[in-house]
């Protein structure tokens, strides 16, 4: 695996790709916030939200099912919500017993469980679409415009830049470890658990020192180019009328979704 | 592909809005303070350092080691980062790591990011640095032992808090989620402890200047020790209680009004859930919803403003 | 929503009476006590292209870090007649463009554009001027179409060219390159030699690539053990087998 596997941006000529990153970030957050605001069992509204998501997928020209196919990330976490079906609130649907304990599934519990899963699944798709149609540096610019603290943005952009350098370094270390323990097949990479963890710890220590010293050299490179402690940035993004129009339209659609969820 | 070390990155949808916003507020407060503290006390050299260190934590989380039968131990890094870089810088580094995991890899949600940062960045810094600083002047074996214990406990406490948040949100049943989360993380925490100790040992040998007692003392005051010990005790006492007597804890939370508040939508906290003049109608509920949303928005803007000011 | 920067400070270009770079008796020891420079004397004139050679650990990189005040030891150093002092530091850093050995240290921004813009932006230039300089610098290294690329996607050779652009955008009077040809394949190395040949800037280039030295640099400075052991016409130095052998160098 090369760390290029970390890339999430998918280029295409589309309206969504051209949209100002601030609009995209705000709408993603608004969409996720909207999902959280909807009351349980507002199936129509959740369906409408999914429809909006499909429209967005289509607009991105990445394919109608682009985010759907990548959306099962949160699935392992669904286990945590499974116990919600036994909620004591609501009427029992059926019960069964496991080793002397009687578990009762309730209608409220089932609705709650479904609600959690659907919200999680819709939200993660919105986030997937955002990074697929926006280069990550543009997302950072957008966050800066949206008043995220500058220091944090700067740290994240350094993190983003050196993610690739350092994960490559880790992969090299791991390969070296694998090569050295290859002789001991059948003995599962040799040594006891404690020893294995300690090897990982030494790697972490080594990686730490190298990273620390690298940050010194980066600092020197920054000084050489006039850095005196105040970071400046350019502001290349300006909202076009079409960006405002899109924002208004999308917000209106989200508001409609909320109304659908609340009026019954 | 999953990059998260442990099932601690909560996705969107699993926490209610109230719990999400409460932890966003706490996190914003801590991160805002961390920003103004690092601006005051540390040179401009700190910026690339924190950035590269965040990349280090991200990369180090890929260092796994086989435990038993296909599962592998992983590394979270919150305690180590706080011990070596100081608690404030550690918090910022972990905030960056968790942000990029959520933004770029959808590992953890956006609305619940406040909770994720709190669990994995702030709580771990408090326990990790607090306990380590307590022992910064004693001999190396004891100090490393304390660091290991702190790393283990920070993982366990993260898991416990995650479980409690899920329970308060009505997502999980207390008697199931607490034993499950704790059970897994009592083990994962051991890996965290060994890696943290080995890494610290390595660093101490190669660059003793980075871990001197003076440096540790200058990075955070006695308040951290107090907070760290307090939170550690809380985690140690609460864990057995929550697993052995979930009904008791449930009763306490109910009496204190936590349960209701956590599971309801935020506008339900508004008096009588409706706007008086409009009466019990759908319209009134919608209006209440709008007011709630505006309040939330106002809160976010206010936090943003104060962060901006703290920074400038 | 364009955001206007507070009135930027445009730096004037320094005038040059006499030598562009003058180093007198530079001494420097690293904090661990290791002496890396032991009395360096060096003069560079406007328009010269000079090679800096010497074995590993000779002190080449250390010397280069002195030339724009990243490291400061004892002795005198002046650039374009300006002595290296705290006050002159911004001017000197704009005048001496230093490119580091490892391009992953030099390119610290997510995108190529941001990296090339970093220098001019922090010199306090107004935004239109920054944009113009980025375009010019990228054109000079023939990488214009790379402006929106992500730095971590580039090959080593491309990274090295962009690294040079990051200082060219500051319009330096003196270009200081640390081992620019290390790690390049023959084609990228050839392209780099072309580029260095074309660039109309005074330059000091440290390298182990003596074939490139012979081709590109009329003058060579040889260092060993923190001292300048030879300084003269490249043709003479490279013919002196005894000198080369004494300092661990070898003609290809
Ligand atoms: N940060 C440092 N701390 C201590 N000693 C150092 C440091 N950096 C370099 N040195 C030492 O200073 C001496 C000169 O190093 P320098 O990097 O300047 O050599 P160089 O000529 O650039 O070598 P190379 O051809 O390998 O790049 C070496 O002996 C090196 O070990
Ligand atoms: Mg060197």
Residue nearest to atom 2 of ligand 1 (CA): C30
Residue range A157-162: mean pLDDT, rounded: 92
Measured between beta carbons, the chain A residues lying within 8 angstroms of C119 are 225-226
Judged by its nearest atom, the ligand closest to the C-alpha of residue C57 is 1
Q: Considering chain B, what is the average pLDDT of its residues?
A: 80
Q: In Å, how far are A81, B153, B196, B239, C38 from B186, measured between CA atoms?
A: 21, 8, 15, 11, 57
Residues of chain B with pLDDT under 70: 1-7, 41-43, 64-74, 252-253, 255-312
Nearest CB neighbour to B14, from listed A73, A80, A173 = A80
Nearest to B48 among A165, A171, A215 (CB): A215
- Per-residue pLDDT tens for B192-219? 898 899 899 999 888 888 888 888 888 8
The pLDDT score that the predictor gives to residue A264 is: 65
Residue boundaries of the structural domains of chain C: 20-246
Confidence of residue A174 (pLDDT cuts 50, 70, 90): confident
Of B207, B51, B55, give the one whose Cα is nearest residue A169: B55
Cα B259 to Cα C127: distance, rounded to the nearest angstrom: 54
The share of chain C scoring above pLDDT 90, in percent, equals 63
Same domain, A93 and A211: no
Mark whether A139 and A15 lie in a shared domain: yes
pLDDT tens for each residue of C68-125: 899 998 999 999 888 998 888 888 998 999 999 899 999 999 899 999 999 999 888 8
**Ligand 2 mean position, distance from CA C69 (Å):** 17
List residues near ligand 1 (CB under 6 A): C 30, 32, 34, 36, 54, 56-62
Nearest to A234 among C1, C105, C130 (CB): C130
Note the ligand closest to the C-alpha atom of C58.
1
Within 10 A of B253 (CB to CB), how many other CB atoms are there? 18
Q: How far apart are CA B78 and CA B98, in angstroms?
A: 11
Spatial contact of B95 and B123, defined as CB atoms under 8 Å apart? no
Choose among B15, B94, B8, B13: nearest CA to B51: B94
| Mean model confidence pLDDT for chain A | 85
B130 CB within 8 Å of a chain A CB: no
pTM: 0.86
CA distance B50 to C122: 21
Q: What are phi and psi of C81, to 5 degrees?
A: 85, -10
Give nearest CA residue, ligand 1 atom 5: C30
CA-nearest residue to A22 within chain C is C1
Same domain flag for A109 and A203: no
Tell me, yes or no, whether A11 and A112 share the same domain.
yes
Bridge partners of C23? C42, C77
- Pairing label, strands C174-178, C202-206: parallel
pLDDT score, position B1? 32
Residue A109 to chain B, least CA–CA distance (Å)? 9
The pLDDT tens digits for A3-60 are 556 778 888 889 999 999 999 999 999 999 999 989 888 899 999 999 999 999 999 9
Check: CB of residue A178 under 8 Å from CB of residue B16.
no
Pick the CATH number of C20-246 from 3.90.1720.10, 3.40.50.300, 3.90.1490.10, 1.10.10.10: 3.40.50.300
Same domain, A14 and A118: yes
Total count of domains within chain A: 2
A116 assigned to some structural domain: yes
Chain B contact set for A205 (CB, 8 A): 198-203, 206
Mean of pLDDT values over A155-165:
91
Angle between helices A43-60 and A21-37 (to 10 degrees): 160
Ligand nearest to the CA of C29: 1
Instruction: Tell me, yes or no, whether A23 and A119 share the same domain.
Output: yes
Q: Which helix or strand (DSSP H or E) is residue C53 part of?
A: strand C49-53
Q: Clarify whether residues A113 and A62 are in a common domain.
A: yes
Expressed in angstroms and rounded, the spacing between residue C60 Cα and the centre of ligand 2 is: 6
pLDDT, tens digit, for every residue of A207-224? 999 999 999 999 999 999
Q: How far is the CA of C76 from the centre of ligand 2 (A)?
A: 22
Q: Are residues A112 and A30 located together in one domain of the fold?
A: yes
Instruction: Tell whether A157 is covered by a domain.
Output: no
Q: Please name the residues between 36 and 65 in chain B that touch chain A, using a CB distance below 8 Å.
A: 38-39, 43-45, 47-56, 58-60, 62-65
Burial (0-12, 13-18, 19+ Cβ within 10 Å), A158: buried
Which among C27, C28, C62, C177 is the best mutation to test ligand 1's pocket, defined by most ligand atoms within 8 Å of the CB? C62
Domain that includes residue A135, residue range: 3-146+238-262
Q: Is C146 on the interface with A (CB under 8 A)?
A: no
Using the beta-carbon criterion (under 8 Å), do C122 and A214 form an inter-chain contact? no
Res. C1 pLDDT band, cuts 50 70 90: very low
Query: Which DSSP state fits C111?
Result: B
User: Contact, B57 vs B97, CB < 8 A?
Assistant: yes
pLDDT in tens, C215-227: 999 999 999 999 9
Q: Which residues of C touch A238 (CB under 8 A)?
A: 1-2
Q: Are residues A35 and A104 in the same domain?
A: yes
- Report which DSSP code applies to C14: P
Residue-range domains of chain B with CATH: 17-311 (1.10.1760.20)
Q: How far is CA B311 from the centre of its chain?
A: 22
CA distance B255 to B273: 20
H/E segment holding residue A251: helix A241-262
Kindly state whether residues A86 and A216 are assigned to the same domain.
no
A179 lies in the same domain as A80: no
Residues A22 and A69 grouped into a single domain: yes
Q: Mutating which of A32, A36, A42, A262 best tests the B interface, going by the most B Cβ atoms within 10 A?
A: A36
Higher pLDDT, C154 or A103: C154
For the CA of C55, the nearest ligand: 1
CB–CB of C127 and A234 under 8 A? yes
d(CA C3, CA B311): 18
Among A29, A111, A35, which Cα is nearest to B171's? A111
Token couple for B99: 């942000």
Give the Å distance between the CA of C101 and the centre of ligand 2: 7
pLDDT class for C42, splitting at 50, 70, 90?
very high
B72: β partners: B66
Higher pLDDT, B255 or A252: A252
Q: What proportion of chain B, given as a percentage, has pLDDT over 70?
A: 73
pLDDT digits (tens, 9 = 90+) for A127-143: 999 999 999 999 998 99
Alpha-carbon distance C150 to nearest alpha carbon in chain A (angstroms): 9
Which residues in chain C have Cβ-Cβ distances shorter than 8 Å to A4? 153
Please name the residue whose Cα sits nearest to atom 4 of ligand 1.
C30
Q: Is residue A58 part of a domain?
A: yes
For the record, the structure tokens of A73 come out as 């990330």
**Site to substitute for ligand 1 among C27, C29, C30, most atoms within 8 A of C-beta:** C30
| Residue A160 falls inside a structural domain | no
Check CB contact under 8 Å for A4 and C167.
no
Chains that touch C (3 or more CB pairs under 8 A): A
Q: Which two tokens stand for residue A56?
A: 């967005």
Q: For position C15, what pLDDT does the model report?
A: 53
Across-strand partners of C40? Answer: C26
Q: Does residue A163 lie in a domain region?
A: no
At C190-245, the pLDDT tens digits run 999 999 998 889 999 999 999 999 999 999 999 999 999 999 999 999 999 999 99
């Amino acid at each position: 695996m090369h760390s290029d596997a970390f890339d999430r941006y998918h280029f295409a000529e589309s309206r969504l790709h051209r949209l100002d990153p601030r609009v995209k970030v705000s709408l993603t957050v608004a969409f996720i916030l909207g999902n959280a605001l909807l009351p349980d069992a507002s199936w129509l509204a959740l369906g409408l939200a999914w429809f909006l998501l499909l429209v967005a997928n289509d607009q991105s020209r990445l394919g109608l099912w682009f985010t759907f196919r990548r959306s099962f990330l949160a699935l392992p976490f669904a286990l945590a919500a499974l116990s919600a079906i036994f909620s004591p609130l609501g009427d029992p649907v059926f019960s069964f017993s496991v080793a002397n304990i009687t578990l009762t599934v309730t209608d409220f519990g089932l609705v709650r469980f479904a609600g959690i899963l659907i919200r999680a699944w819709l939200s993660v798709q919105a986030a997937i679409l955002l990074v697929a149609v926006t280069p990550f540096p543009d997302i950072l610019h957008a966050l800066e415009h949206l008043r995220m603290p500058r220091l944090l943005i700067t740290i994240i952009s350094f993190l983003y830049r050196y993610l690739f350098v350092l994960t490559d370094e880790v992969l090299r270390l791991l390969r070296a470890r694998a090569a050295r323990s290859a002789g001991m097949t059948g003995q599962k990479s040799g040594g006891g658990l404690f020893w294995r963890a300690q090897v990982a710890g030494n790697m972490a220590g080594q990686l730490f020192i190298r990273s620390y010293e690298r940050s010194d050299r980066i600092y020197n490179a920054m000084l050489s180019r006039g850095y005196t402690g105040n970071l400046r940035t350019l502001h290349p993004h300006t909202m076009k009328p079409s960006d405002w129009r899109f924002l208004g339209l999308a917000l209106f659609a989200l508001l409609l979704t909320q109304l659908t969820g609340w009026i019954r | 592909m999953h990059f998260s070390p442990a099932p601690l990155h909560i996705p969107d949808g699993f926490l209610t809005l109230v719990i999400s916003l409460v932890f966003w507020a706490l996190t914003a407060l801590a991160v805002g303070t961390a920003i103004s503290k690092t601006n005051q006390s540390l040179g401009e050299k700190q910026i690339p350092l924190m950035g590269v260190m965040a990349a280090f934590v991200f990369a180090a989380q890929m260092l796994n080691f086989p435990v038993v039968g296909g599962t592998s131990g992983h590394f979270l890094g919150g305690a180590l980062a706080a011990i070596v870089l100081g608690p404030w810088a550690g918090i910022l580094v972990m905030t960056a790591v968790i942000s990029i995991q959520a933004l770029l890899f959808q590992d953890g949600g956006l609305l619940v990011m406040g909770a994720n940062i709190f669990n994995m960045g702030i709580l771990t810094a408090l326990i990790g640095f607090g306990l380590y600083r307590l022992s910064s002047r004693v001999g190396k074996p004891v100090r490393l032992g304390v660091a290991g214990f702190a790393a283990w406990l920070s993982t366990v406490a993260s898991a416990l808090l995650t479980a409690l948040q899920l329970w308060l949100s009505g997502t999980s049943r207390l008697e199931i989620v607490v034993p499950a989360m704790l059970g897994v993380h009592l083990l994962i925490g051991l890996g965290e402890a060994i890696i943290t100790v080995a890494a610290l040992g390595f660093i101490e040998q190669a660059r003793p200047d980075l871990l001197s007692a003076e440096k540790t003392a200058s990075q955070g005051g006695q308040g951290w020790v107090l907070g760290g010990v307090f939170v550690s005790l809380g985690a140690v006492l609460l864990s057995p209680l929550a697993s052995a007597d979930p009904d008791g804890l449930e009763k306490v939370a109910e009496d204190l009004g936590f349960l209701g508040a956590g599971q309801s939508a935020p506008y339900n906290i508004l008096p009588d859930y409706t706007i008086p003049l409009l009466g019990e109608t759908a319209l009134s509920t919608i209006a209440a919803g709008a007011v709630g949303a505006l309040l939330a928005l106002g809160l976010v803007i206010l936090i943003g403003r104060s962060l901006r000011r703290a920074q400038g | 929503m364009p955001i206007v920067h507070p009135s930027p400070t445009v730096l004037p270009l320094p005038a040059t009476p006499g030598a562009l770079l003058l180093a007198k008796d530079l001494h420097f020891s690293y904090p661990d006590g290791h002496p890396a420079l032991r009395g360096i004397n060096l003069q560079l004139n406007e328009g010269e292209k000079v090679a800096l050679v010497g074995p590993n650990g000779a002190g080449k990189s250390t010397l280069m870090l002195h030339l724009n005040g990243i490291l400061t030891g004892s002795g005198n150093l002046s650039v374009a007649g300006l002595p290296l002092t705290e006050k002159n530091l911004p001017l000197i850093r704009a005048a001496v463009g230093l490119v580091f050995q490892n391009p992953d240290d030099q390119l610290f921004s997510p995108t190529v554009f941001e990296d090339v813009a970093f220098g001019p932006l922090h010199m306090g230039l107004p935004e239109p001027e920054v944009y113009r300089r980025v375009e010019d610098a990228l054109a000079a290294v023939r990488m214009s179409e790379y402006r929106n690329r992500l730095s971590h996607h580039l090959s080593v050779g491309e990274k090295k060219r962009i690294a040079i652009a990051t200082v060219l955008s500051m319009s330096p009077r003196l270009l200081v390159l640390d081992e620019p040809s290390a790690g390049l394949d023959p084609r990228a190395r050839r392209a780099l030699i072309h580029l260095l040949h074309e660039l109309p800037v005074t330059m000091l280039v440290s390298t182990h690539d003596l074939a490139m030295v012979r081709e590109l640099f009329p003058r060579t400075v040889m260092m060993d053990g923190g001292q300048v052991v030879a300084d003269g016409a490249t043709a003479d130095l490279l013919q002196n087998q005894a000198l080369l052998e004494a300092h661990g160098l070898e003609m290809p």
